[in-house]
Amino acid sequence: MPRIPVSTDQAPAAIGPYSQAVRAGDTVFLSGQIPLDPATGELVPGDVAAQARQAFRNLEAVCAAAGGSLDDVVRLGLYLTDLGEFAAVNAAMAEFFSAPYPARSTIEVSALPKGAAFEVDAILSLR
């Protein structure tokens, strides 16, 4: 099955040798999105909730470029530099997703690119 890259200027450009997303059949694998403003390439100011909202907006833009939406997300991976911020990230996520919610893992990491406090990746099903 061929890998078809997906990209949009409505989300930050990849900052390494990877695609914003790759489609294989009806499944789209979305690379991690950190809270970069797509227009400036800089981290958005604010707390982890503000960062999560921007990362989810970036993810939403890549979903749209792939022909889907956040409603088509079947799995999320959340990465936080401080699990003490778990409740704030949950509240931000609830602004973007509704039941039935995607499957999810949440992992504390020691650091993220560009000093971000939050990153999200996803798998999208276009069936």
Cα–Cα dist 107/79, whole Å: 5
Cα–Cα dist 117/23, whole Å: 28
pTM of the model: 0.96
pLDDT computed for residue 14 by the predictor: 87
What are the residue boundaries of the structural domains of the chain, listed by start? 4-120
Question: What is 4-120's CATH number, 3.40.50.300, 3.30.1330.40, 3.40.50.10260, 3.90.1150.10?
Answer: 3.30.1330.40
Cα–Cα dist 31/120, whole Å: 8
> What integer best gives the mean pLDDT of the chain?
96
Quickly state the pLDDT bin for 97 (edges 50, 70, 90): very high
CB of 114 closer than 8 Å to CB of 34: yes
CB of 23 closer than 8 Å to CB of 124: no
Asked if residue 4 has pLDDT above 90, the reply is yes
Q: What is the pLDDT of residues 66-85, one digit of tens each?
A: 999 999 999 999 999 999 99
Cα–Cα dist 21/43, whole Å: 20
Q: What is the pLDDT of residues 7-25, one digit of tens each?
A: 999 999 988 899 999 999 9
Cα–Cα dist 125/119, whole Å: 20
Which residues partner with 29 through β-bridges?
Answer: 22, 123
